Chains A and B, each alone.
Chain A
Amino acid sequence: MTNTQKHTDFYDNEGKPAWKAWLTTTDHKRIGLLYFYSLTVFFLVGVLLGLMMRFELISPGKDLVEAQTYNGLFTLHGVIMIFLFVIPGIPAVFGNLTLPLLLGARDVAFPKLNLLSWYLYIGGAILALSTLLVGDGPPDTGWTFYAPYSVKTGTNVSMAVLSAFILGFSSILTGLNFLTTIHRMRCPGMTWFRMPLFAWALYATSWIQLLATPVVGITLLMIVVERWLGIGLFDPVLGGDPVLYQHLFWIYSHPAVYIMILPGMGVISEIIPTFSRRRIFGYKAIAYASLAIAFIGYFVWGHHMFTAGMSGPARIIFSVLTFLVAIPSAIKVFNWLATMYNGSIDLKPPMLYALGFIFLFLIGGLSGLVVGALATDVHLHDTYFVVGHFHYVMFGGTGFAFFAALHYWFPKIFGRMYNIKHATRAFWLLFTGFNVLYFPMLVLGIMGMPRRYYDYLPQFQIPNVISTVGSWITVAGLIYMIVVIVKGIRNGEKAAANPWNGLTLDWQTDSPPTKENFDVIPTVTERPYEYK
């Protein structure tokens, strides 16, 4: 990147060879980009596996792969999408890229630890993908590794589980880093309630990462111990308890779904005021809602186990709590909507993705209420309804928030602008494809088709065909979006420092920022988003 400004931007390698300058960097922006590129690669691998599954399901019987291969496909697809894409996702990429900028700081609290997190991430990722190539075939347990099947199967479960364990450490360290950064590195004048809402969301998320991830780490290690040493923890044949595994697994993995969605909500809370030119409505309500979600989210894990043989009162309590955790999310949606009221709305791609997020997340959340209720969950648990539901939340929610963040901070990070017209078209293609792909899954679940099915009864065929066609449209949309982004990075027009007229500190510095972010550490005198 040529440098016409008075300082060099953070792309300057300062005389070092490029590979060394990047692989030993402690600059939060460079680490953010390292995450961005590696995450994108894994995401695309995951999409490819999803595409293959959908192709297999276009008609009953074998279409593309054998049953065993199919089971490996959905397991790896799940592991990649969960542990390599949505969980690190927005915090690792956009948290790293922007958190110090938003807080008016020069870097995160522990820059070297930050680099270590990325190496752990890459190590875990390589381990996960190499299950494809070494050992007795990719794991075939589903991303949940439910015992006792995960203890009995001959496939390469141990390696996949170890990779999730390592990835957990990466996540814990990022959480620790962000917590310390937010506590210690805010610039003068930035009180807690003058912090941008994305920082609030990262704050709540980091607590979950720090407190919940160790539980799943230990649980996954227990699987390895059981496989290698034959110690009976979860397999009843050895004297273990399979339901215990489910409890331990979901004690982490339910809070983890809030690790996935909270940062996405934070992104939306940045974009909507900027493109409505309105102060965000209910700043405190949104900030507290993040904390409430993080807190209540710890106590709802049992809703994954309504049919597993829990006691009656436990089922009832978990159901009530599940409904309550929906409230803070609803509050956020209402406040976003109120922020648009009387605003001056500019429907640029970031805003489009943000509104797309709201719509898809609504369907995801509302379908979540259906499975949160006891009677309906008994029918829909472990069916395609659940597959539809979590894709709406994780892909329609977090995924679209990721794309929104990308289109929003793109000029800041790359100093250039993508083609707005094509980016808008790509959005519509992706959005259409998404609904054609996943809405039929909700229908299939109601009809009674279980998930993780290599083959299905003939009555389920029509929605399956529609869904498969949807997967092609979705992938076309993704490719379109990527082409627009790559072209933008390569030879987009030079962007101004603040093309969207944002008010948060990230927009008050150069694009791309200098290595140290700010020449002079700024001082904050009012809340963010005070459009007048």
Chain B
Amino acid sequence: MNTGASTFTQGVDTAFIVILSISVLFLVGITTAMIWFVIKYNRKRNPKPKDVKDNTRLEVIWTVIPTLLVLVMFYFGWIGYKPMRNVPNGAIEVKATGRMWSWQFDYQNGKQSNILVVPLGKPVKLNLYSPDVLHSLYIPAFRIKEDVVPGLNNYMWFQAEREGEFDILCAEYCGVQHSYMLSKVKIVPEEEFLTWFNTTETVLDTLESVGLQVLKKNGCVACHSQDGSKIVGPTFKGLFGSQRKVTDLQGNVKTVTADELYVERSIYEPNAEVVEGYNKNLMVSYKEQISPDEIKEIVNYLKSLNEKK
């Protein structure tokens, strides 16, 4: 029962229990004294107050003792925290990308996944990357969290001590789908991890077209639906070949046809033409992530959506 899910759990929980115990002691003590005074020195029972002189010794005592106690609290907080910043050598490195509104994990052999799969009992370092706004990678069971800040190379690490699946949540507010920016960390025995790690097939199932796989891998579908509903960006359904009313960088409104070039522009320079009714700056350029070949696959997929109906 006492084995935490990660090596940090115990340090954090110890600090918590120390602080909580001292706090409860104070809360109960002070509240009891308060109630007792109200009863004992009630005006009915005690109509005449007795003067009490200021007492410097008492002031010193109730300054020094709490000071010592909070320093004890600080100490436990610090001890529980120290290992979180010291990554052991040989940790498995994974790039963790948080974007509006999905997580993506890139392993060093090029493997990509939307859930984090790691071996039991091995240190894992996450290099945190955000292409858009602030996020925060939070695994409550492991007692860790670190902000994913665009432009900053933040990191975190952990070592799992228990097999199983644990929630990953985004803890820094990041827009409309913030509370849906969830994932899982799956802790498996090392052999199982290696098998998983060495299959080049990504987690995406093969029945899907390559274009849809690209869209899912890059988190596009968090904002663009495939069924015609409006999320954050325009839906993909019926998009290809349609007439789009857009605002360009100069603020001119014009109508363009959604052809291959339009799709590429929308992915590489999303703010150059913004569809009416949607907001600028919410989407970032995917120039680094999506290759021209992949864009061809996306176009094929978009065309297939039109044929379906």
Contacts and interface: CB of A to CB of B under 8 A. Distances in A.
A278 B49 CA distance: 6
Interface string A344-375: 11110000000100110011001101101111
Interface in B244-294: 279-282, 284
B84 to A, nearest CB: 6
Given A282-B59, A359-B34, A369 B73 contact: yes
B309 interface: no
B207 interface: no
A454 B175 CA distance: 11
A309 interface: yes
Contacts of B167: 448, 457
Contact of B77 (A243, A285, A340, A376): A376
A198 to B, nearest CB: 19
Interface string B14-42: 01100110010011001101100110011
Contacts of A279: 51-52
Residue from B71, B74, B77, B147 with most neighbouring chain A CB atoms (10 Å): B77
B184 to A, nearest CB: 11
A378 to B, nearest CB: 5
Interface in B1-25: 8, 11-12, 15-16, 19-20, 23
A345 B169 CA distance: 50
Given A330-B66, A331-B63, A450 B138 contact: yes
Contacts of B136: 307, 382, 450
Contacts of A359: 31, 34
A404 B70 CA distance: 30
Interface residues of B, number: 81
A37 interface: no
A237 B52 contact: no
Interface in B34-89: 34, 37-38, 41-43, 46-52, 54, 58-59, 62-63, 66-67, 70-71, 73-74, 76-81, 84-85
A113 B46 CA distance: 48
B227 to A, nearest CB: 17
Interface residues of A, number: 88
Nearest to B173: A452
Given A279-B51, A532-B51, A307 B145 contact: yes
Given A323-B74, A383-B171, A455 B179 contact: yes
A453 B134 CA distance: 15
Interface stretch (A25-33, A143-151, A478-486): A143-151
Interface in A300-336: 307-309, 312, 315-316, 319-320, 323-324, 326-327, 330-331, 333-335
Interface in A265-289: 276-279, 281-285
30 contacts: A140-B175, A146-B134, A148-B133, A149-B175, A153-B282, A236-B151, A237-B150, A276-B49, A307-B136, A316-B78, A320-B71, A323-B73, A331-B62, A337-B34, A340-B41, A341-B41, A342-B41, A344-B48, A346-B43, A347-B38, A347-B42, A362-B27, A370-B20, A373-B15, A373-B77, A374-B80, A376-B12, A381-B145, A454-B178, A456-B179
